[in-house]
Structures are given as C-alpha cells and as structure tokens.
Amino acid sequence: MERFEIADALKRLPEQYFVKLTDKVNCARASGHDLINLGQGNPDQPTPPHIVRELQQAAEKAGFHKYPPFQGYRFVKEAVSRFYRREYGVEVDPDKEVAVLFGGKAGLVEISKCYLNPGDVALVPDPGYPDYWSGILMAGARMHMMPLKGENDFLPDYGQIDVSVWKKAKLMFLNYPNNPTGALAPASFFEETVRMAERYHVLIVHDFAYSSIGFDGEKPHSFLQTPGAKRVGVEIYTMSKTYNMAGWRIGFAIGHEDVIQAINLLQDHFYCSLFGAIQKAAAAALLGPQECVQDLVNMYERRRNVFISRLREIGWNVKAPRGSFFCWLKVPNGYSSESFSDLLLERAHVVVAPGIGFGKEGNRYVRAALLTSEERLQEAAKRIGGLGIF
C-alpha cells in the first residue's frame, strides 16, 4: 500500500492527551471493574423535551430538507440576539454580529486559522481547554502561556506578561466559567482585559461554554457585557452545556462584526451551514421556557456540595468550584497529576482527568466532573477515602 506523507499542519497538532486516558479506561472496563467515570466533560442529562419536540416537528418540514443558507437562518441569529438582550442586557445585530458554528469547539479552532499567520503569538490560559492549542498550531503560530494560579483566583495576571510579548500578541483566549478550574471572572477582570486589548491591539476570544453554570447565587458574566468588548473581541457560545445539546453540535460566535465576517468567510469554504431543524430547535431553546436551565444548575450545585463535602470528610482539603461542572482538585504531595489519576483508576476504579492534559500548570491537579448521580459521587469519594492516602 502506498504511503502518503501528511501535511505539516497536521504534524504540528498536539497529542490528544485524553485519547490515552480513554484507552486506560477501556482497559480497566474490559477487566470487569465497576468504573465511576468523572474524567469526561459529556453532560449526563437528556436534552429538555420541548427542544426535542421542536426538532421532531421541524424535521418533517420539507423546506429544511434542502441546503440551508450558507451562513445560517436569520431566525436563529435573531434568537441569539434576543437571548443576549434578555440574559445580559447586550444588544447584538443578528445580521452582522452572529455566526452559526458547528459547535463551540469548531469556532475556537477556526478563529486561529482566520487571524494567525506563521510566527504570530497567541496568549493562552494554562491550564486551559486543549483545543485552543490545535488551531494555533495548525496556523503555524506560537503560544505564550498565561499561568492560572489559585492564589490569583485562577485569573491570568496581565502584569506578569512582558510588554514585548503584548506587542507581538494578536489573539487571546479566555474561558469563564473556567474549564478546568471552575473559576468565575468578575466584571472588573473583563474591564481590565478590554483595556489591555485596546492598548496592544489584541483580539479577545472568550469561550463562554459554561455560561449558565454559576453557584451560590452567582450568575456568570458575559464578556460582551463589558463596555467596549465588541470593539476588541467575540464570545463563543454553545448550546451543549446550558441545554444538554452536546451531540447536536451547534454554537455561535457573537461580537466584533469583522471577526464574524471572517469566520463566515472561512466556513463558506467548509460547510453549507447546519440542518435547519437543528437551528429551529436551538432557537426554541434560547427563547422558550428557561426553568430547565435553573433546574440543571441546581442539580450541579447539589452534586458539587455532596462531592466536595465527602472529599473533605475523608481528609482531602479541596476547594469547591464557583462555576462550570468541574472540580479542580489538588493532588497529595508526592504525586503528579498523572500518577495520582492512575492510582485512582487502578485501585479505586475512579476515573479523573490528569491536570497535565490542560497545561503544565495543571500537573498538581486532577479534574473531576459532576456528571453522574449524587450516589455515585459519594461512592467515588468513599472509594478514594478507602485508599488511606489522606
């Protein structure tokens, strides 16, 4: 069989760390162990019934069986506009400031291909979502990592970034509520971000995947609520987490109209937009009853409270996340993130994600997802306590 050499852009891609984790999990499962999998970020609840019904009804409409408009139906972009006005008090032009995405992940990778050339610099949180790296490296650009440390509430310290780096940077990725740390960002942080972006002409990309999931009465801030935000950046909003639509693959880029135009231009050469019935269901989710969203957040908060309290009872001194559905747990002395996650898998049959998979700053942490029942979370804590480490 002939062998064909892949393009340099693919050779630059980072290792998919979580593929290795999946292989370990599959081996343990094949051995017959009862695994409690807290290592993934895949929501465990179904899409709310009224959204599913909208899809079913729309799928029967022959008009949606044809190619959709290249840049999506106006009705779904109008729904995004109305949603942002209702939830955040932000005015969004549906015709110029919204792009329809094949899930938030696609937009986060595409934007680097839109704005970065070989040798350009992007500012990236460490730890952070690994797919930020993918688009940057495919574009042949370079990453400057911004450490997220507990003593700074897992916010980047802009004062620690050298002026020479700021002058070279073209793009910055941010993500609050944060994956993997569960941190929230205050309005003052986003105000500082806009000031720095304007001073150094840096495009801000705010990944708002966990937009609705804030605990203890805190509603997460949208970057676009910040005065001047649309002059310097965009927000990537996904339906995956708020409405349990992860498998539906629909999201949006919202903000700076030139950036939206660039994303649309790139996507015009890849796709012919999304199945219209999915767009119709997304509009129904954004504009329909929102009790399901609050119920979901309440469920995650109950799970968080149960899990964190049980971990503390076994002697593991951990901090509770303020948002997202992840717990960022510091590993005991003497362990790395990978060695500790391997120990939990092999001896407690509990799966967590090693923090090193999110960047070198994550090497003293593991990430556990609140994506199983309270009973299973309590059982996971009990098994970990049974190891006698704490």
Look at residue 26 and tell me whether its pLDDT is greater than 90. no
Tell me the pLDDT tens digit for each residue of 322-355.
Answer: 999 999 999 999 999 999 999 999 999 999 999 9
Look at residue 29 and tell me whether its pLDDT is greater than 90. no
Look at residue 296 and tell me whether its pLDDT is greater than 90. yes
Say how far residue 327 (Cα) sits from the centre of its chain: 14
> What secondary structure, in 3-state letters, does 314-333 show?
CCCCCCCCCECCEEEEECCC
How far apart, in Å, do the first and last CA atoms of the chain sit? 55
Across the range 69-97, mean pLDDT stands at 98
Tell me the pLDDT tens digit for each residue of 253-278.
Answer: 999 999 999 999 999 999 989 999 99
**pLDDT band at residue 239 under the 50/70/90 scheme:** very high
Phi, psi of 333 (to 5 degrees): -55, 140
* pLDDT for residue 104: 96
pTM (whole model) above 0.85: yes
Calculate ∠ Cα 220-222-224, nearest 5°: 165
Tell me the pLDDT tens digit for each residue of 118-166.
Answer: 999 999 999 999 999 999 999 999 999 999 999 999 999 999 999 999 9
Burial class of 184 by CB neighbour count within 10 A (0 to 12, 13 to 18, 19+): buried
Tell me the pLDDT tens digit for each residue of 160-186.
Answer: 999 999 999 999 999 999 999 999 999
**pLDDT band at residue 28 under the 50/70/90 scheme:** confident
Percent pLDDT > 90 in the chain is 92
Across the range 368-383, mean pLDDT stands at 98
**CA dist., res. 211 & res. 237, Å (int):** 8
Q: What is the mean pLDDT of the chain?
A: 96
* pLDDT for residue 279: 98
> Quick one: tokens of 67?
């190619």
Sheet holding 353-354, edge to edge: 326-330, 365-369, 353-354
Q: Which domains does the chain have, with CATH numbers?
A: 8-46+291-385 (3.90.1150.10), 49-287 (3.40.640.10)
